[in-house]
Amino acid sequence: MITQKMKYALKGLLALADEAAKPAPEPLTIEEIAKRSGTPKRFLEHILLELRNAGYISSIRGRSGGYSLVTAPAEISISELLRLIDGPIAPLPCLSRRAYQRCEDCTDEATCRIRKVFAEVFWSYLLIIESLTLADMLRSEAAAAQVLGATG
């Protein structure tokens, strides 16, 4: 399950990606990103700082300033965003590749039935989540809009 913070990060990035796709994109203020994404401004400020520090977006100060997407949506990995915003994504610490920790109550990882079952599920999840990018989210949103427009 992703956190609300991750949902806000994705919504903010999608708003910035929509703006970046325009013929003459302009930086968006926090207020405008919050409005377009339906995200509370007070949460967005910290999230945008994290995204900027990670190199996904840039910020410009001043009257005509704001935030802009600097990484192409196809280069923004959903799994990397999850790790940045929410931390390790493995269901058990002994399955994490980047934040591995042995489970405190485990006597033998090789024979642990809990680890085995969750490993199978987790690896399947990783195959999918690591292949997704922000561009996939934009495409799925566009496809959904087309379907809704055709049926409406």
Per-residue pLDDT tens digits for 65-112: 899 999 999 999 999 999 999 999 999 989 988 888 888 888 888 889
What pLDDT is stored for residue 149 in this prediction? Answer: 57
Identify whether the C-beta of residue 52 lies closer than 8 Å to the C-beta of residue 75.
Answer: no
pTM of the predicted structure, to 2 decimals: 0.84
Residue 64 has pLDDT above 60, yes or no: yes
Neighbours of 58 (CB within 10 A): 14
Query: Residue ranges of the domains in the chain?
Result: 4-69, 79-143
Q: Which fold has domain 4-69?
A: Arc Repressor Mutant, subunit A (1.10.10)
Neighbours of 73 (CB within 10 A): 21
Please give the C-alpha separations between residue 53 and each of 16, 27, 50, 66, 145, in angstroms, as whole numbers. 16, 17, 5, 15, 32
Tokens of 64: 């005509």
